[in-house]
Amino acid sequence: MSASSPTARPIAVVVLAAGKGTRMRSALPKVLHPIAGRPMLGHALAAAATLAPARAAVVVGHGAEAVGAVAEAALPGARICLQAQQKGTAHAVLAARAMLEGFAGDVVILYGDTPFIAPGTLARLVAARAGAAVAVLGFEAAEPGRYGRLVLGGDGMLDRIVEAKDATEDELAIRSCNSGVMAADAATLLRLLDRVDCDNAQGEYYLTDVVGLARAEGLACRAVLCDEVETMGVNDRVELARAEAIYQARARHEAMLAGATMTAPETVFLSWDTVLGRDVTIGPSVVFAPGVRVADGAEIRAFCHLEGAEVGEGAIVGPFARLRPGARIGAGAHVGNFVEIKNASLGDGAKANHLTYVGDASVGAGANLGAGTITCNYDGFDKHRTDIGAGAFIGVNAALIAPVSVGANAYVATGTVVTRDVPEDALAIARVPQENREGSGRRLRQTLKARKAARKDKPDRA
């Protein structure tokens, strides 16, 4: 976590991530379901990090160990607070009491299943808090439905928040809705939370009640509105798919504006950390899993899958290629159809154009791997490396039994199984001598034909 600006009040962030997410119907905690290859909680914590919080807490409950591990990785230094029983949002915030007590600053409360809040929106929320005891983030809903309503007073200040199940008919007609995200002075928040009761339809302790309690004390409360999509919560698989679609549409749009070409953008899927250079061209039905960087001028052709890989300037990948973690493709290199590369590097200008597996290997600049080349890297217990020198030529249907090396500018003949190192400029040939037996093909065909006929004539047994 970064230090706050010396001219601003310090900020503590509390991210609520304790819910089970029953509607997901999943063994995986709801906040760990991914959007663009990153857990929803990771997206929420990335937004929290933009506030440069002096303190941070993630409140966990269901799947506490797994959720806590993701939180600690995404926001190092965050305190993991357990809410053993889920009794409402106010009760959840109080699980972080130890972190908040004595804190002279503002508290921002976020949710682990709300992945799209923009940094600028959070900055506006914190700025609004400076003129009030409590600031609440809301939105104008097209269909308010089950959302809590923001009830404003005659002075335009936020008067109270009413949950839909507790609202009157007039209150249900209000279109300004509560997102749940809130900013408040830490000391004021703790004092108000201690006064929240569970006298409501759900029998829970609502965080929203602090607004009414603050107003009853004559304290000012404000509402800050943002786009409804920013406050979208994900509660089931349908909403998860919608969130993925929203993320992908935004990511594609930004990538194309930044200089990438997508011939069928609606079929391309990007990860949260995908990096595309200028003049990159991406064909239809390409999937970028996490950890992919593509340099300027490279082309990723149709139906490729890339994960944890780097593609160099001007390289061509695909169609129908798979780059697995640790793949490093040099400038101007070619990776063709039905080629898989894992934990291996192709040097500048190297080619593996057809039906090839390169695993745990290095391929030098300008080397050429023929169709059906296999680096046999696994012996059932350990992985072993293959090193192929610059300018080497590997013939069609060659198998290289690792650990083994092929020297620079060496040739490996078609159909060869390489079991020993090949020196620089050498030619390696390892084939069983071919034997042609006159007439044996005809006799073999007749034998097989008779055998098949005998099977057909044999009566079935009951």
Identify the three-state secondary structure at position 124: helix
Among 33, 253, 354, 384, the active-site one is 354
Is 354 known to be catalytic?
A: yes
Locate the DSSP E strands across 310-429.
310-311, 316-317, 322-323, 328-329, 334-346, 351-363, 368-369, 374-376, 386-388, 393-394, 399-401, 404-406, 411-412, 417-418, 427-428
Cα angle 73, 249, 123 (rounded to 5 degrees) comes to 55
Q: What is the DSSP string of 151-201?
A: EE-TTSSEEEEE-GGG--HHHHT--EEEEEEEEEEHHHHHHHHTT----ST
Alpha-carbon 441 to chain mean position: 57
Strands 106-111 and 176-185: antiparallel
Exposure string (b/e) for 236-274, b if CB count within 10 Å is 16 or more?
A: eeeebeebbeebbeebbeebeeeebebeebebbbbbbeb
Give CA separation, 305 vs 86, 324, 370, in Å: 40, 8, 21
Catalytic residue list: 354
